[in-house]
Structure 1
C-alpha cells in the first residue's frame, strides 16, 4: 500500500539542515523517504514516483507546468559553494576547444558550467558524461565536473589540478546567488494532501531554523559519518543558503533565461511557490 506522501531526499550532505531535525516519528506511516542522487530524484519526480522533495533547479524548469515549489526552501549559495567543482589539467583561460567530463549525477550544475563556459567565456567545448570518479574522468578529458560529496572528497584528496568553484564563477560574472535545488511538489498532490503537505513543509522549515541556530550537532554528525575537518564542514554549511526568497529567485530565473538563450531550455521558466493556505505565483523579474 502506498504511503500518503513519498518524499525525496538528496544523498548529499548539502540538504541535511532541512532534514536533520525533521520529526519523522510524528508522521508515523503517512510519509516515506526515498533517498537518491539528484539525477535519480529528478527522474523519479518526473515519473510520478515521488510526490515532493528536492530536485535539481534545472529539472524544475523542464517540468514547471507540472510542479510548484515549497516556499523558503532551496539549496543555494551567493558565491563559493564548496561542493561544485571543475577540476582541470590547465587554467580555465586555456579551456577553449577542450573536452570536459561531466558527472552523471547532476542536471543544474552541468548546465551551469555550459552557461559559464559558452556565454561568459565564449568557448566551444565538447562534453562526455561519466560516473563521478575523477581519475577515470580525466583519463581522456582535459577537465571534469563533480558535485556534492564526490566533489568534496576529490578536493580533500588534493592533486596537481586547477580547481574552480562554480558558485564562485557564477557570482563573479553575474553578481547573483545561484540556486541548485528546490523542493518541488507535483501539482496533483496538492488537492489530495494539502493538509499533510503543510505539516511536512512546516517541519522542514523548523529543522532548517533549528540547525541555523545551532550547527554544532550537525557538524559533529557530518564529521563522524563523512570524515574531514570540523572547521571545513563549518565553513561549508555557513556558505550554503537553504532559504528561497527574492534574492534566490532572481538569480535562478536569470539562470533559466541564460539556459534558454543557449538552447538548454525551450523557454525561460518562473518559479511558482506554494505554502500553507495557497500558492504564491511569482512573475519573472528582468535583470
Structure 2
C-alpha cells in the first residue's frame, strides 16, 4: 500500500507540531512545501493530508474533512504575517498599490477583508515573489508571511509593520485561524485506521511541543536565527488548537470572505469522525 503523503509547511511556525512527530513504524511520507504549494498538491491529489490554508479548505471544502484540534491560529498578533508600509495605517491605503506574496492564500484573503470590508478601501493588488525590496520598489505596501515576514522584521528597513492578526482582532475581537489540517475525503473514507494512528501521533507531538519547547526553539534558531526570548514570545502567541474559539473565528472569516465574493457561501466545517478521547492515548 502506498504511504500516506503528509504535507508540512516549510516555515518555522509549524515546528511545535512536526519537531516531535514520530513517523517510525508508519507508512507516511512528509512533503515540505510553502502553503500555496501544499494547497495545490492537496487539490491535485498529490498530497493526502496536512496543513493547508484555511482559505484553500473553504474553496473546495466538499473534497476534504478536517482533523480535529489541529490548526495554526492566533488571538491577536500572529507574529509572522505582516503588511509592510511606508508609515500608513490600513485606513490610509484606499487607492494604494499592494504587493501580495505568492506563498499565501489565507493571508491574502484576510488582508482583502481588512482593507475592503472594514476600511472600505479599493487598492490595486499585484502578486509577486516574497522579496521585500522588489515588492516595495513596485508597490506602496507589501504582504509577507512566515519566515519571509520574520526576515523582513529583523532587517528593520524603516517600514511600518502591521500585524494582520492584531488588525483582525482589533476589528472583530476574535481568533483567526490561518491553516487547518485537512484530509482528502477519499483517504478519510478508505484509510481510517491509519489516520487514527497519525492523529494520535500529531496530538502527542503537539503536547510535547507545548510541554518542552526548548528543542523546538533551538531548531528554529538553527534554521532562521533569532534568540531564545524572541522565539519564546513568538510561539507563545500561536495556538495549534481547533476548538470553539478558533472555529468561531474561522466561521467569521469565511462569512466575510463570502460577502466579498472571495469564497463560496455557507462553507461547512466538517471534522474527521474519530473515536472519543483518541488523542488522549
TM-score for the superposition, normalised by structure 1:
0.94
**Residue of 102, 106, 130 corresponding to 1:104:** 102
1:55-94 superposed Cα distances (whole Å, 9 cap, x missing partner): 0000000010110000000000000011000000131232
- Does structure 2 conserve the Cα–Cα contact (< 8 Å) formed by 1:259 and 1:268? no
- Does structure 1 conserve the Cα–Cα contact (< 8 Å) formed by 2:188 and 2:272? no
Q: CA deviation at 1:186?
A: 0.5
Task: State the partner residue of 1:172.
Answer: 170
Q: CA deviation at 1:275?
A: 4.3
**Residue of 31, 36, 39 corresponding to 2:36:** 39
- CA distance in structure 2 between the partners assigned to 1:230 and 1:275 by the alignment: 38
- CA distance in structure 2 between the partners assigned to 1:276 and 1:195 by the alignment: 10
Secondary structure at 1:154 match in 2 = helix
Secondary structure at 1:8 match in 2 = strand
After superposing the two structures, state which structure 1 stretch, 221-230 or 268-277, moved more: 268-277
Task: Structure 1: state its 5+ residue gaps.
Answer: 279-287
- CA distance in structure 1 between the partners assigned to 2:209 and 2:184 by the alignment: 27
1:95-154 superposed Cα distances (whole Å, 9 cap, x missing partner): 110000000000000000000001111111110000000000011200000000000010
2:212 is equivalent to residue 193 of structure 1: no
Count of residues in Structure 1 that have an aligned counterpart in Structure 2: 275
Which runs of structure 1 show a deviation greater than 4 angstroms over 4 or more consecutive aligned residues?
Answer: none
- Does structure 2 conserve the Cα–Cα contact (< 8 Å) formed by 1:90 and 1:142? no
**Residue of 107, 120, 123 corresponding to 2:121:** 123
Secondary structure at 2:268 match in 1 = coil
2:1 is equivalent to residue 12 of structure 1: no
